Structure 1
Amino acid sequence: MEEVIDISKLLNLLKRNWKFIVSLSLLGALIAAAVSFFLIKPTYSASTQILVNNKESNNQLELQANQADLQLINTYNEIIKSPVILDKVASNLDYKGNLSSKISVSNATQSKVITINAKASNYKDAAKIVNETAKVFSKEIGKLMKTDNVTTLTEADYNKKASPVSPKPLLNTLLGLLIGIILGIALTILKSILDKRIQTEEEVREILGLPVIGMIPHFDEKTLK
């Protein structure tokens, strides 16, 4: 029974302070939207996929080569992000920044398909970075290892009309709204806990255990005039 009463009190408390909670939630959404649209620079992402194989004709040798390639995938990933590759990519593109922070490399489990992803302030730059990285890797891997069969499966399309991957204004606005609601509820409950004043008839009856037989109305200066 006490739990039901406590929940009822909480609901009444939130009901009395709904304007404050709504105002804070709208403020949170407004701040998040403003930051997303005006302060955070948009980031675009482009990717290309390559396949690394060994040239073997014998079936048994081909099977062994496939297993060897799968074991070397992590090595290929590290080579792609190494200065040996990225320095040449930067030189070819006349890129002045740090490419290693712009590029990520991944592959699915038990797959020889490697996905190269790049992020930049505009989509064309990101596409140029991944495509050039794939080309340089295809040329240089033969010099570094006994692998000279790299196939580009998909290239990033320079003319693609891409949307930025970040920021996400709608998601950020919803998160700001949610944070505002949570903060408004938390502050309302905290204020109620810290405020020891008696504000309602129910509180009087609960604390004193006596019925309320009368109330003194509040008059401000305008009312008295």
Structure 2
Amino acid sequence: MTLLELLQLMRKHLKLVILLPIVCALAMGVYSYAFMANTYTASTSMYVLAKQTSTNSDNAANYSNLNASQMLANDVSTLLKSDRIAADTVKNLHLDSLKGYSTKVTSETTSRVITLSVTGTDPDTSAAIANEMASNVSKVAQQVMDVQSVNVIDQAVSPSSPSGPNRSMYIAVALLAGLFVAIAIVVVSDMLNTKVRNADEVEELLGLPVIGRMPAVKGGK
């Protein structure tokens, strides 16, 4: 099937091609606003400070301390995802669990700054979890790692506006999916239609030229 034939089919079934994507987009819009709860993301940033290995202020000592802090930052990022930090946070905040709340830890290899983001349905609880996890990781890191401290740069605050879900994206995807389904229906229905619809198909099937045509006359006798 050529592109021109496809366009002709779509034009022939224009109502389906237009209505089905609109219906899918409307259905997704209703579902996203009625059944998908808003989520809120609270973020806190931390600075990992390693214990000084030398009292000298020369460049070699400073470079060594910087590398050590950067490697420890990666270890602290992994520690933030551990069960111990989660369990301590649940205990200290008197929560049943962290179910429904997702965490994201970002740590660049060239920086000692770690960013922790907590996303959940309650803005206050999301901020409280982020701050408590930052406090807990500082205590644990000092106990089990060669870390002087994990200092909080910016404490998490309760977000005033939701971070998700991205309803516009869902609606756009539903619109495109509806268009794809409509085109698929049109193409499949055309392939399954075995009726001879024009003279070109007669010539192709019989291998004989068409020498005459009888026009359709509406209302005639």
TM band (smaller chain): 0.7 to 0.9
CA distance in 2, matches of 1:215, 1:100: 67
Select 1:51's aligned residue among 34, 37, 47. 47
TM-score, L = length of structure 2: 0.85
* Structure 1: gaps spanning 5 or more residues: 220-225
Q: Which residue pairs with 1:68 in the alignment?
A: 68
Q: Which residue pairs with 1:207 in the alignment?
A: 202
TM-score, L = length of structure 1: 0.83
Which amino acid in the other structure matches residue 62 of structure 2?
E
Q: Which residue pairs with 2:183 in the alignment?
A: 185
Q: Report the CA distance shift for 1:139/1:205 in structure 2 as closer, same or farther (over 3 A).
A: closer
After TM superposition, the runs of 4+ consecutive aligned structure 1 residues lying more than 6 A away are: none
CA distance in 1, matches of 2:100, 2:187: 48
Q: CA deviation at 1:18?
A: 0.7
Alignment of 1:20-99 (within 5 A): 20-56=16-52, 57-59=55-57, 60-98=60-98
Aligned length: 210
Q: Which residue pairs with 1:173 in the alignment?
A: 171
Higher helix content, 1 or 2: 1
Alignment of 1:208-223 (within 5 A): 208=203, 209-210=209-210, 211-215=212-216, 217=218
Q: Which residue pairs with 1:121 in the alignment?
A: 121
CA distance in 2, matches of 1:204, 1:50: 76
Structure 2 SS opposite 1:148: strand
Percent identity of paired positions between Structure 1 and Structure 2:
22
Q: CA deviation at 1:95?
A: 1.4
Q: Would the aligned equivalents of 2:37 and 2:121 in 1 still touch at CA under 8 Å?
A: yes
CA RMSD of aligned residues (A): 2.3
* Structure 2: gaps spanning 5 or more residues: 204-208
